[in-house]
Amino acid sequence: MTTPANHWVPVLSTDSTDTSFSGKTPTATKPAGDGVIDFLSADVGDSIGDQIPDFIVVKPYGTDANNETFDMRVWGWSLNRSQSIWEPILIIEANVTLGNISVARPAGGTTYYDADTIVEAKGDTDTVRTVSPANDLSAYMVIDPIGSQMLEFTFDRTGAAAANALYRTV
């Protein structure tokens, strides 16, 4: 068995400064926009036909300083074909604490701090493997998309000035 060595991609093109979450409800409109990853899209290119990747690795980061915090939700979206409705499921909500691992992203730009602590707060924690070493070592999550065609990332910056994450499929 082999695993593709895919590159890291930012979840958002512009860092989130949202200060709260909103719930997701079924919708006739296909979710789209910043923070939505459509595995079957040619832009993402990580599917084969209607087969999506088994897992997605997520590495949260943010701005401001060591020990700042934010929360992150990952939603799965799938089409209910009989009713032409997109159905959401909350896969995971995580509480994130930034470490003192500073990185300029993009090169020469704002200084970001990788998360060193991730705590699973809500959702199906059996479908997520969290590596949360603390002590200023980078944390990440391995998420099973549970067959969802799309994932949507939302953020609630509880302390950090801005929040984002990198992802790659495996």
For 90-121, write each residue's pLDDT tens digit: 999 999 999 998 887 665 567 899 999 999 99
Which residue range(s) make up the domain with 32?
A: 9-169
Mean pLDDT of 21-43: 91
How large is the average pLDDT for residues 131-150? 94
Q: Is 102 within a domain?
A: yes
- Is residue 114 within 8 Å of 59, Cβ to Cβ? yes
| Mean predicted confidence (pLDDT) in 120-132 | 92
Q: In the predicted model, what is the mean pLDDT of residues 114-135? A: 93
In a domain, 69, yes or no: yes
Burial of 159 (0-12, 13-18, 19+ CB in 10 A): middle
The torsion angles phi and psi of 101, rounded to 5 degrees, stand at: -105, 90
Is residue 4 a part of any domain in this protein? no
> What pLDDT score was predicted for residue 28?
97
Is residue 90, in this structure, part of any structural domain at all? yes
pLDDT at 24 over 90: yes
Residue 3 placed within a domain: no
In a domain, 124, yes or no: yes
Section 68-72 average pLDDT:
96
Q: How far apart are CA 65 and CA 37, in angstroms?
A: 28
Contacts of 119 (CB under 8 A, 6+ apart): 94, 95, 130, 132
How far is CA 71 from its chain centroid?
A: 11
The confidence band for 140, taking pLDDT boundaries of 50, 70 and 90, is very high
Number of domains in the chain: 1
Q: Is residue 1 part of a domain?
A: no
**pTM for the whole structure:** 0.92
74 lies in some domain: yes
